[in-house]
Chains A and B, each alone.
Chain A
């Protein structure tokens, strides 16, 4: 079980410099135990690796499966599909979700589609091509074996979803329809109008409810995980807070699966649902699960910009609009005229000017970066100067208003509803927004974290998207993890590691409950110091979260630099202090307590923000969605450094000390990393 650990090189050899940032920490009495960072990659040829791995995994008899309990946290694509499949196999499954129903999970909001290497379009697609596109899309910061497995499984996902009755778009002849998505050269994306995530989630949800009816899954709704329970270093359960009664509940199991989604809401405003949070994986991180590549976060260029202070989220407008829309800004900073009053020569179609070949279709991160730069120069439009125009006028002149309305009908309606503006009469205003997080808990090829018995699925793990995710690949990964990978590897873990049953009275459970109770008590007002009317302490959780978000998007969003990241670290520390000293949430007795839930989530976001900044600072290169201004080519494009950074950064939490950065080297055999160039 031991494996060599590749730790970051010592300082002074061009290594990431995190040490000066943290206050001097007391040296631990002994070197901290190194986490197990063995990716357990199968040896041998890539294209048969998963098959060979799977065939070697041990099995469990049906009679014994009935005696084993599996706990799943999260009911999105990954969680619901894993819970349903494990229950079908005979395990006793419990599923925890903070929603009132599993069908609410944020997977429901995914619009675009799901990739699969079916080659139905006959345009030369193959497993190998999807594999290479995924690896390249992630800018060579993911494992080859994982990306290949994803491409292999992609076809079976579509088969499974169709069998469940997912109403994918069809051709007139009755076969499945495909489209090209996110700049792919082949048409491999399956879709259900603009609601693919909704339909896939309902497929998984219905499979889950079938197992609930069969008595194999116990549904635990309105519960939020507040602590992980480990016994002798092995994950054995979670502590949840009941959303209505506030009661602490303990759920124990033989394996724990976290499928709790991504952490884009560290930026406060993002395209995520407002309750989406990092707490489940952050609690596991604090108990010893390494957090991989936290700074790899994806920004989507075409979202409706922020307006009022009280705006609660950013809404994504499908990227397909860039097919017909021209992006522009007034050539002069401070030009306050309405778009229609600005004559053609005084408009700057900046993407077309800077990228004559790709024009408005440059990749997401490039489009986002250029828009932000110009807005910082004072040329942005709309509230706060944070917006650029996306103009359909030329397409309307070319194809007619009717054609454009039928092509983008739903999107244009949504835009009009949210902004009150008519996108046919005047250009849309768009701005980049946080959308997806590639980083997450480190997992090995079996999706197990550095805590034995703790598996992490879907967006919550860091796995196959590297430094940037390919469009229409998130749904594919969530379902690959849940339907196919975890059911095989969790079985192998359970077969090889028999665990005794434990109950809620186990000391580890009692300790976890006590820890959660202490944390909540610290957020309640002391009798001598009531909340309200106290000027200095008058800041609410929402206030602090908004401030954290503004800071993070500024220093750790589209572009990052060492001085800004250092400023961010100091500012986050100040916010953490303010949170500890100032945030008190009054207890109004039993019943929903959303203020407390928000406070608990913000506490974890503050810890994560610190780690994201450290990770962004340590990665002294630009790759994928991570752009360090110090590391760019003379043309202003990302400058990668494969000699030093062709690795996964995995951060280990240390109580009372700065986190330690470990690294897992990446090897590329199928293709060599290459520098992107869109000029």
Chain B
């Protein structure tokens, strides 16, 4: 299951993209970390490195993170060219060092997409995702106007399928993995979540058109059909939903 035995230590070289702000030039900076416990996550190794940088009076590396258990969707950068690193179905906060070998060099880079402008170092601005949701990723129902919950019957499998698409954590690994920097998987997942449920039917076609239009307006590309998005998705959302989304658009 793991490359290194439990409780072992390894040494790594982190080649990290450093860029203080979008207006300044960026470049790689290498840091050698010796004898790290393989029980550390990659983000914890960055914490350790940042502590060292701070003590030396240098600017720490910016990277997004919060829950550190793979659910908030904050974290994400490229590890050796792969979004969230080499482990499938994992966001980078759940990537542990035992996955690597002693002496490895890891190249860490931010998501690179026009619609996800750089903030600093490994952090990018994903507010485009919020604007796509604002364009129609909801059921228009005011608080207090809901009918009795069991008045709407939804088959078990149908609910489970809607749930699978609703698990998208909004990390943008799909965009980072796509050669067209498309947000198709993100948009399709939300359309499929609501479009599969009776509650989502009244606004179904308007929602599809509005969210896809917003995706284009934000500067995301069209689907490249390479399916890299599916491979990188920490929630393993199927790229088949992109085909489903296209049918939605034709039907609307």
Measured between C-beta atoms, what is the minimum distance from B74 to chain A in Å? 5
CB-defined A-B contacts under 8 Å, sample of 26: A81-B143, A100-B74, A105-B72, A106-B66, A109-B69, A159-B148, A160-B141, A160-B143, A161-B149, A163-B139, A163-B149, A172-B155, A172-B156, A174-B155, A176-B149, A199-B163, A199-B166, A207-B138, A310-B37, A418-B94, A420-B38, A530-B57, A538-B55, A591-B62, A591-B119, A595-B54
Q: How many residues of B contact A (CB 8 A)?
A: 83
CA distance A212 to B153 in the complex (A): 30
B127 CB–A CB distance under 8 Å: yes
Whether A310 and B48, one on each chain, are in contact in the complex, defined by CB atoms closer than 8 angstroms, is yes
CA distance A85 to B145 in the complex (A): 11
> Please, which residues of chain A bring their CB within 8 A of the CB of B150?
118, 120, 175-176
Interface residues of A in 565-597 (CB under 8 A from B): 585-586, 588-592, 594-595
Measured between C-beta atoms, what is the minimum distance from B213 to chain A in Å? 13
Interface residues of A in 143-198 (CB under 8 A from B): 155-156, 158-165, 167-177, 192-193, 195, 198
Query: Which A residues are closer than 8 A to B by beta carbons?
Result: 81, 84-85, 88, 99-106, 108-109, 118, 120, 155-156, 158-165, 167-177, 192-193, 195, 198-199, 202, 205-207, 209-210, 212-213, 219, 221, 244, 273-275, 307-308, 310-313, 315, 414, 416-422, 483-484, 487, 530-533, 538, 540, 542-543, 585-586, 588-592, 594-595
Closest to B142 in A: A88
Measured between C-beta atoms, what is the minimum distance from B120 to chain A in Å? 5
Question: If the complex has contacts A209-B138, A312-B68, A418-B96, are A198 and B167 also in contact, measured as CB distance less than 8 A?
Answer: yes
> Please, which residues of chain A bring their CB within 8 A of the CB of B159?
167-170
Question: If the complex has contacts A273-B67, A542-B51, are A312 and B143 also in contact, measured as CB distance less than 8 A?
Answer: no
Whether B6 and A101, one on each chain, are in contact in the complex, defined by CB atoms closer than 8 angstroms, is no
Whether A594 and B60, one on each chain, are in contact in the complex, defined by CB atoms closer than 8 angstroms, is yes
Measured between C-beta atoms, what is the minimum distance from A75 to chain B in Å? 11
> Please, which residues of chain A bring their CB within 8 A of the CB of B21?
590-591
CA distance A310 to B41 in the complex (A): 9
B59 CB–A CB distance under 8 Å: yes
Whether B69 and A313, one on each chain, are in contact in the complex, defined by CB atoms closer than 8 angstroms, is yes
> Please, which residues of chain B bring their CB within 8 A of the CB of A168?
159
Whether A311 and B40, one on each chain, are in contact in the complex, defined by CB atoms closer than 8 angstroms, is yes
B47, B127, B133, B147: the one within 8 Å of A312 (CB):
B47
Question: If the complex has contacts A163-B199, A311-B40, A418-B94, are A109 and B71 also in contact, measured as CB distance less than 8 A?
Answer: yes
CA distance A103 to B123 in the complex (A): 17
Closest to B52 in A: A540
B48, B90, B138: the one within 8 Å of A210 (CB):
B138
Instruction: Rank and list the top 10 A-B pairs by shortest CB-CB distance, nearest first.
Output: A174-B153, A532-B57, A163-B146, A206-B138, A167-B163, A159-B146, A213-B134, A588-B59, A170-B159, A162-B149
Contact with A along B85-105 (1 / 0, CB 8 A): 001001000101010000000
> Please, which residues of chain A bring their CB within 8 A of the CB of B217?
none
B81 CB–A CB distance under 8 Å: no
B66, B90, B137: the one within 8 Å of A99 (CB):
B66
Contact with A along B103-141 (1 / 0, CB 8 A): 000000000000000011001011101100111011111
B84 CB–A CB distance under 8 Å: no
Question: If the complex has contacts A213-B134, A417-B90, are A163 and B74 also in contact, measured as CB distance less than 8 A?
Answer: no
Query: Which B residues are closer than 8 A to A by beta carbons?
Result: 1-2, 6, 20-21, 37-41, 43-45, 47-48, 50-51, 54-57, 59-60, 62, 64-69, 71-74, 87, 90, 94, 96, 98, 119-120, 123, 125-127, 129-130, 133-135, 137-150, 152-156, 158-160, 162-163, 166-167, 169-170, 193-194, 197, 199-200
A81, A106, A165, A207: the one within 8 Å of B72 (CB):
A106
CA distance A160 to B170 in the complex (A): 23
> Please, which residues of chain A bring their CB within 8 A of the CB of B69?
109, 313, 315, 414
Closest to A118 in B: B149
Whether B130 and A159, one on each chain, are in contact in the complex, defined by CB atoms closer than 8 angstroms, is no
Whether A164 and B139, one on each chain, are in contact in the complex, defined by CB atoms closer than 8 angstroms, is yes
Measured between C-beta atoms, what is the minimum distance from B170 to chain A in Å? 6
**A100-B125, A120-B150, A417-B94 given; 11 more Cβ-contact pairs under 8 Å:** A100-B126, A103-B170, A109-B72, A167-B166, A172-B156, A174-B153, A174-B156, A307-B37, A308-B40, A421-B6, A540-B51
CA distance A212 to B214 in the complex (A): 15
> Please, which residues of chain B bring their CB within 8 A of the CB of A418?
94, 96
Whether A532 and B56, one on each chain, are in contact in the complex, defined by CB atoms closer than 8 angstroms, is yes
CA distance A542 to B60 in the complex (A): 13
> Please, which residues of chain B bring their CB within 8 A of the CB of A161?
149
CA distance A210 to B68 in the complex (A): 28
Whether A88 and B143, one on each chain, are in contact in the complex, defined by CB atoms closer than 8 angstroms, is yes
Whether B55 and A532, one on each chain, are in contact in the complex, defined by CB atoms closer than 8 angstroms, is yes
Measured between C-beta atoms, what is the minimum distance from A378 to chain B in Å? 20
Closest to B41 in A: A312
Closest to B137 in A: A206
CA distance A307 to B9 in the complex (A): 13
Closest to A382 in B: B7
CA distance A348 to B68 in the complex (A): 34
Whether A100 and B155, one on each chain, are in contact in the complex, defined by CB atoms closer than 8 angstroms, is no
A159, A199, A414, A585: the one within 8 Å of B149 (CB):
A159
CA distance A532 to B94 in the complex (A): 31
Of listed A109, A313, A591, residue having the most chain B CB within 10 A? A591
> Please, which residues of chain B bring their CB within 8 A of the CB of A219?
130
Measured between C-beta atoms, what is the minimum distance from A392 to chain B in Å? 17
CA distance A15 to B40 in the complex (A): 47
Measured between C-beta atoms, what is the minimum distance from A162 to chain B in Å? 4
> Please, which residues of chain B bring their CB within 8 A of the CB of A85?
142-143
B55, B98, B170: the one within 8 Å of A101 (CB):
B170
Whether A100 and B64, one on each chain, are in contact in the complex, defined by CB atoms closer than 8 angstroms, is yes
Whether B47 and A171, one on each chain, are in contact in the complex, defined by CB atoms closer than 8 angstroms, is no
Closest to A166 in B: B166
Closest to B133 in A: A209
